[in-house]
Amino acid sequence: MYLAMVFPRYFSLFSISVSLVLVLSSRLEAAPEDSLVTNLPGFNGTFPSKHYSGYVTIDSDPQKNLFYYFVESEGNPSKDPLVLWLNGGPGCSSLDGFVYEHGPFNFEASKKQGELPSLHLNPYSWSKVSNIIYLDSPSGVGFSYPSLATGDLQTASDSHAFLLKWLGQYPEFQSNPFYITGESYAGIYIPTLASEVVKGLKTGVKPKINFKGYMVGNGVCDSEFDGDNSYVPFTHGMGLIPDGLFKEARAACQGDYQKHSEDVKCKRIIAEIDNVVSGLNIYDILEPCFHEKFPETTTKNTSLPTSFQELGKTDKPLAVRKRMFGRAWPYRAPVRDGIVPMWPQLTQSLHGQGVSVPCINDEVATAWLNDEAVRKAIHASEDSGSWSLCTSLSYNHDAGSMIPYHKNLTSAGFPALIFSGDHDMCVPFTGTQAWTASLGYKVVDQWRAWQSNDQIAGYLQEYAHNLTFLTVKGSGHTVPEYKPQESLDFYSRWLQGQEI
């Protein structure tokens, strides 16, 4: 088997936030006390805000038990926005976001084999400015159980049911402005859930969700804009393939790499492009790829070059994970309607029933979240089985293109921030830039740089209807992991309605 056939392209984290209301300025304190997290193994200090975690049960046959971890804002929890975060995949746990992206802790791996990581406070946690719910969705992912066949529409409906019940349990957050956020395959989860929320508002479902907008990072959207139509121009624009090959591809595929992907000549040239870029880390073309190029023929215990260990350092105290190919879908598979292919069976399961994700090092999260004391502390049920970063699901992409959803949501007045780490080859910015422009909205803030820490951190273009497309310069697929400070900057400015 060739890895080139299987390196996956979609892995996503997605988050949503909900906030509730103050009644006559007296804050309700109804959060379920038995969900309070009072200690976490590996952390010695005082929590900077309250944490809760547990399950919300969705009435269905069989019942679905959806796991969440909720971090109150370290600012003003009663006023700050409530944000829901969802990781994508489909099949990836949102605790990926909690551990590796914008959670309250940085996890430092132990130097000793078999010891748990140490937790340090993350100065760029999104809980600095928002209340944030990390939700394992759909059922079967992360600590949520059981695993059932599902799809986009069912997942959106279940997540909506989750929100209503959660707000019922935490009524003090019903009045906070609520946002839905996430990345990668959550590019599907977010608009479909937002659409359910808006429908619920129209029909007067209680409690009323104070929905204010949504954010999507490196998100999947539409099979024509994503996939090869974003990938081929990306490889050329990034200097990964020569002009000649790009011109040949454009001619052979008549400028539409998706539509003509099965034409013999077009297919052959795209295979050639795949071959040229095949050693790269698709989640960040600047990062090394921690992979075995030909697993059948190379020795598995080759020690990594030391330069590799040095790479991936950010201004977080921890290096980003070393990703290789392999997060989600087979390489070059766009978001087609129908059953979503999961990680290839040739990937051996390293972590119990879970699917191990090749190319990334998820050992810290896997060790920590499978530790008995940790699971007890966060109220994870034994019935959920062992935790793995991404789980194989029977999942149907049945919501089609997200473009009609974005049109409806933005024209109904819900602000949207669509952002892209510009060095991600998994869901390249080229496709996202193209579909946002395709909505045809008037440009109200022409392409310009935005700054963080007095440096250019990326570019943005703002459209009418509060639609913003923003790039994060030099970032890979999971933006807050690669660019934590810049991410907290654009996140907080956008949530506060300030100019980014």
Interface with ligand NAG (CB under 6 A): 44, 118, 195, 299, 301, 404-405, 408, 413, 415, 464-466, 497
Task: Report the C-alpha gap between 81 and 428 in whole angstroms.
Answer: 29
Question: Is the torsion defined by CA of 335, 338, 340, 346 positive or negative?
Answer: negative
Neighbour count for residue 199 (Cβ, 10 Å): 12
Backbone angles phi, psi at 430, to 5 degrees: -55, -40
| Angle subtended at Cα 394 by Cα 282 and Cα 132, rounded to the nearest 5 degrees | 65
Instruction: With H, G, I as helix, E, B as strand and everything else as coil, classify residue 414.
Output: coil
Residue 442 burial class via C-beta count within 10 angstroms: exposed 0-12, middle 13-18, buried 19 and up? exposed
Q: Distance of CA 260 to CAs 60, 110, 314, Å?
A: 43, 50, 40
Candidate list 158, 424, 465, 475, residue with the active-site label: 424
What's the first-to-final CA gap in the chain, in angstroms?
A: 46
Q: For residue 354, what are the contacts with CB-CB under 8 A and spacing of at least 6?
A: 386, 387, 388, 389, 390, 391, 392
d(CA 226, CA 372): 41
Count other C-beta atoms under 10 Å from residue 441's C-beta: 17
Residue found under tokens 């971890």: 69
C-beta of 69: minimal distance to ligand NAG in Å?
Answer: 20
Q: Say how many C-beta atoms besides its own lie within 10 A of residue 137's C-beta.
A: 31
**CA nearest neighbour of 290 among 339, 324, 256:** 324
For 282, 329, 348, the CA distances from 340, given in Å and listed in that order, are 19, 8, 19
Residue 184 falls in the annotated catalytic set: yes
Helix spans in 170-227 (H): 186-202
Cα 445 from Cα 492, distance rounded (Å): 19
Q: Is 477 a catalytic residue?
A: yes
Q: How far apart are CA 224 and CA 205, in angstroms?
A: 35
The secondary structure of 1-22 as a DSSP string is --GGGT------EEEEE--B--
Cα distances (Å, whole numbers) of residue 259 to 55, 248, 428, 487: 44, 16, 18, 35
Return the closest-CA partner of residue 224 out of 185, 269, 249, 260. 260
Q: Which residues are catalytic?
A: 184, 424, 477
